[in-house]
Amino acid sequence: MSGAAIVVERVVEWADTDASGHAHNSLATRLLESAEGELMRRAGLAALQPAMPRVRVLFEFRSRLFAGDAVTAELRLRAMGRTSLTWDLVVRGPDGATAITGEAVVVHAPGSSAEPWPEGVRQALGAGALSG
Could you give the 3-state DSSP secondary structure of residue 7?
strand
Question: pTM value?
Answer: 0.91
pLDDT one-digit tens code per residue, 46-83: 999 999 999 999 999 999 999 999 999 999 999 999 99
Q: Which fold does the domain 5-124 belong to in CATH?
A: Thiol Ester Dehydrase; Chain A (3.10.129)
Domain boundaries, the chain: 5-124
Average pLDDT, rounded, for the chain: 93
pLDDT one-digit tens code per residue, 108-130: 999 999 999 999 999 999 865 44
Residue 67 Rama label (left phi>0; alpha psi -120 to 50; beta):
beta
